[in-house]
Structure 1
Amino acid sequence: MRQWRENNERKSEDIMELWLNVLETNLNNYGNEKYVLLEQIIYAALDCHQYGVANALIYLLTMEFPGSLRVMRYKAALLEAEEKYDEALNILDSIIKADETNAAARKRRVAVLKAQGHINEAIKELADYLKKFMSDVEAWQELCELYLQVQEYGRAAFCAEELILHQPHNHLMHQRLADIRYTMGGVENMELAKTYYCQALKLNPDNIRALLGLFLVANNLVGHYKSSGSSKRKEAWKLAQWAQSKTAAKQREAQSTASPNLADMMLSLSLAE
């Protein structure tokens, strides 16, 4: 293990020296684009765990732009990659204090809290962020995922509804909300899940997950509506049959022989009228 660590450190030093030589000779040829290149190399070095390379490049930028908030963000990213979370949070807090509208620093702060396992704190931080940046679709999606982790399904559903408002023609957003409503259970949530699964299939008829979800919801509603003469029970039963037939048709089109017959599995789960 010790030999492996020494070899890895030596390799990192060699790569750092190589990059510095390349930068010294060729960097000025890129003009103003060199800073974009440096940023890409820093993040690539962090992805490859070449922290020495990233540190050297950050040092060069610090000398050229002392006090730059963007360079400070690179330092925070380096500390985060090295799992020095408290130091990274201190730098991010100083960036936010200097510029309250710095969205990137606020989002990195959420990422650090999530990496530490502080999910509730990350949720609070991200909710505060969305009060200021309400149109950030990725932030709403992340908040939805965090709420699902702590089983706050009602709040996750609210986030999914916000995503639909931002992307009403994205079938995956409707499918996500339908999945959450199905998980919450109850007749009212099942009816809502049925509606959103249908909308997802209307936007993308090839969405097999939405098709299977519609079958499960409809099958569940058939069991809830006990009266055989109920119009809602008949509607749910017809939807379950339709979803089953569509799945069988798509499986025939795919001519899949390697997987079990999904239509037969659905048939075994379906309830008789």
Structure 2
Amino acid sequence: MVTKSEEDQLNRLESQVDNGGGGEWEYLCLVRKLKVRRPDKVLKHGLAILNDFKKRSALGTEDWTLCEQVAIAAMDCQCLDVAKDCIKVLRKRFPDSKRVGRLEGMLLEAKGLWAEAEKAYSSFLEDNPFDQVIHKRRVAVAKAQGNISTAIECLNKYLDTFMADNDAWRELAEIYVSLQMYKQAAFCYEELILSQPTNPLYHIAYADVLYTNGGIENLQAAKKYYASAINLTGGKNQRALFGVCLCTSAIGQLSKGRNKDDKESPELQALAVAALEKDYKQGAPDKLPLLTSTLKSLRVSS
């Protein structure tokens, strides 16, 4: 995850480079390091270096890294001739490279040659069943064709081996949510929370799924995970604060006629409402009446 300071540094460098202030290589290195997608910028500034003999010579062996980076950016931008030229140069320099082979497979994807790409990736996996990049490319091929069931199958098979890959768990969870398969999505978010218990985004996503499933037990659990996210963010996450209010309202409706012990205590709800009102007073005072109206419709108040 990119930190605020890293994002600020990237934006400063991007502005500098775009305005002719130099630092193209430093910018491209930072994009690569942070694993962010800036294909149009990478293509523009990467080609500027590759086409400048003096700048390119100064890179030494990093020249090949830049060729790979530009090739991927070119595919993202559908500049397939540029990607093809870069891959051709890399293949000539590294004739037996599996890494270049992955790029060739990605170029097949970019051309929409799904069967050829799948055939190439299957061949790679026969040689090396533990190639994580190729496994993920197969998922991408399935999703690009709208074959979601195959994408789910590939991700589950991948996670049987690479259980610590949080990105894969998150992608699988998002697919399940899109298909309204909330029980399966909940399992994925449980794995993510076990792996990164201090990441509030996973607590919120899990709470969202529990809230959507409904029922007293799920709503009570959702409220606890929203509360956990509030705690992890120092009370600053409005989505989690609203989540507490939504859960409180829903639990209140379902708890009518139940024993007193089944009902929720109002303390957390009151704190969430107070925090929301404070945030709106400071950041969006013109929208405070709308907040008040919304909370009133949920029958919660401070």
Q: TM-score range with shorter-chain normalisation?
A: 0.7 to 0.9
Q: Determine the structure 1 residue equivalent to 2:247.
A: 217
Instruction: Please report how far the alpha carbon of residue 117 of structure 1 lies from its aligned counterpart in structure 2 after TM superposition.
Output: 0.6
Structure 1 CA distance for aligned equivalents of residues 155 and 264 of structure 2: 44
Is 1:158 aligned to residue 183 of structure 2?
Answer: no
Structure 1: gaps spanning 5 or more residues: 1-14
Q: Determine the structure 1 residue equivalent to 2:166.
A: 137
Q: For each residue in 1:149-189, what CA deviation from the matched residue of structure 2 results, as whole angstroms up to 9, or x when unmatched?
A: 22211111010011111111111110110000001111111
Aligned partner (choices 220, 223, 233) of residue 191 of structure 1: 220
Structure 2: gaps spanning 5 or more residues: 1-43
- 1:19–1:53 contact (8 Å) kept in structure 2: no
Q: Determine the structure 2 residue equivalent to 1:243.
A: 272
Instruction: Please report how far the alpha carbon of residue 88 of structure 1 lies from its aligned counterpart in structure 2 after TM superposition.
Output: 1.2
TM-score by length of structure 1 reads: 0.86
Aligned partner (choices 97, 103, 108) of residue 68 of structure 1: 97
Aligned partner (choices 90, 99, 122) of residue 119 of structure 2: 90
Q: Secondary structure at 1:180's aligned position in 2? A: helix
Change (3 A) 1:231 1:68: same
Higher Rg = 1
Q: For each residue in 1:1-51, what CA deviation from the matched residue of structure 2 results, as whole angstroms up to 9, or x when unmatched?
A: xxxxxxxxxxxxxx9xx8898277764542211111111110121122210
Structure 2 CA distance for aligned equivalents of residues 60 and 200 of structure 1: 49
Q: Determine the structure 2 residue equivalent to 1:99.
A: 128
Is 1:59 aligned to residue 88 of structure 2?
Answer: yes
Q: Determine the structure 2 residue equivalent to 1:128.
A: 157
Instruction: Please report how far the alpha carbon of residue 67 of structure 1 lies from its aligned counterpart in structure 2 after TM superposition.
Output: 2.9
Instruction: Please report how far the alpha carbon of residue 240 of structure 1 lies from its aligned counterpart in structure 2 after TM superposition.
Output: 3.2
Q: Secondary structure at 2:263's aligned position in 1? A: helix
Aligned partner (choices 43, 64, 76) of residue 72 of structure 2: 43
Q: Secondary structure at 2:286's aligned position in 1? A: coil
Structure 2 CA distance for aligned equivalents of residues 244 and 25 of structure 1: 61
Q: Secondary structure at 1:49's aligned position in 2? A: coil
Q: Determine the structure 1 residue equivalent to 2:26.
A: none
Which deviates the most, 262-271 or 188-197? 262-271
Q: Determine the structure 2 residue equivalent to 1:5.
A: none
- 2:49–2:55 contact (8 Å) kept in structure 1: no
Q: Determine the structure 1 residue equivalent to 2:144.
A: 115
Aligned partner (choices 256, 260, 265) of residue 285 of structure 2: 256
Q: Secondary structure at 2:197's aligned position in 1? A: coil
For the aligned residue pairs, the C-alpha RMSD in angstroms reads 2.3
Counterparts of residues 199-210 of structure 1 (less than 5 Å)? 199-204=228-233, 205-210=235-240
Q: Which amino acid aligns with 1:212?
A: F
Instruction: Please report how far the alpha carbon of residue 137 of structure 1 lies from its aligned counterpart in structure 2 after TM superposition.
Output: 0.7
Aligned length in residues = 255
Change (3 A) 1:189 1:29: same
Instruction: Please report how far the alpha carbon of residue 64 of structure 1 lies from its aligned counterpart in structure 2 after TM superposition.
Output: 2.0
- 2:142–2:151 contact (8 Å) kept in structure 1: yes
Q: For each residue in 1:43-82, what CA deviation from the matched residue of structure 2 results, as whole angstroms up to 9, or x when unmatched?
A: 1211222100110111121122223211111011111112
Structure 1 CA distance for aligned equivalents of residues 285 and 64 of structure 2: 51
